[in-house]
Structure 1
Amino acid sequence: MVDAITDKNFDEETKNGVVLTDFWATWCGPCKMQSPVVDELAKERQDVKFTKMDVDQNQDTAKALGIMAIPTLLVKKDGKIVDRITGYTPKAKLDQILNQYTD
């Protein structure tokens, strides 16, 4: 499952373990392609928490993190940003990236 998060709960929701956050917007074509990939991985991987944040409704976090293009996928491990992927990323590549941060 992919949890929708907001500016208010971003830090709390992403502080433990490996967390991937999909920064997206409803009008973004590549975001619409990325979303099913993230959903699939969320069903397959129990070792990663998957979240998503609408940048139009949650501008403070996106601004604070310097997210200038979407989709941007942010990977945090124990609250620290360990990877940032901008643009559409195929499932196999994203899975490979996540494997670097899980045990």
Structure 2
Amino acid sequence: MATVELTTENFDEVVGGSDIVLVDFWAEWCGPCRAFGPTYEAASNKHDDLVFGKVDTEAQQELAATFGIRSIPTLMIVREGVVLFSQPGALPGNALDSLIEQAREVNMEEVHAKVAEAQAQQG
């Protein structure tokens, strides 16, 4: 599956409407971002049941600011509307595959229960 360009207009629809979404925050001028691109694209072809999105931080500055992106590339994994992983730096293919498998194995019932508990304590 090809990667999807994410914008402020389609982000909620794409990320909210999918089980697991990987988001690559990048910019054209960023050398490490360009180096990570083929690895990310290869993973998107290998894991065609997942959604792989890319956010151009130059064109989508508001979206990058919303997530506090300060370094690129930054990879974020969202599952069922919860950010499970967000970290700057390019990953080698085997590390990206491992991270995807870890995201698949997370018990989301436990995660949602912890989120609900934290929200109840705040509210």
With the shorter chain as reference, the TM-score category is over 0.9
Larger Cα Rg: Structure 1 or Structure 2? 2
Higher relative contact order (CA 8 A, sep 6+): 1
Match of 1:84 in 2: 86
Match of 1:14 in 2: 15
Q: What is the RMSD computed on CA atoms of the aligned residues?
A: 1.0
Q: Detail structure 1 runs of 4+ shifted over 3 Å in the superposition.
A: none
More helix by share: 2
Q: How many residues align?
A: 103
Give the letter for the 2:26 counterpart: W
1:24-58 deviation per Cα after TM superposition (whole angstroms, max 9, x unaligned): 00100000011100100011112321010100000
Which sections of structure 1, spanning at least 5 residues, go unmatched? none
Name the TM-score, length of structure 1 as normaliser: 0.95
- Which of 84, 88, 98 pairs up with 2:100? 98
Within 5 A, what are the aligned runs for 1:26-41?
Answer: 26-41=28-43
More strand by share: 1
Aligned 8 A contact 1:70 1:87 in 2: yes
1:89 aligns to what SS in structure 2? coil
Distance in structure 2 (CA, Å) of the matches to 1:53 and 1:78: 19
1:100 aligns to what SS in structure 2? helix
Distance in structure 2 (CA, Å) of the matches to 1:99 and 1:48: 11
Which sections of structure 2, spanning at least 5 residues, go unmatched? 106-123
Distance in structure 1 (CA, Å) of the matches to 2:62 and 2:11: 10
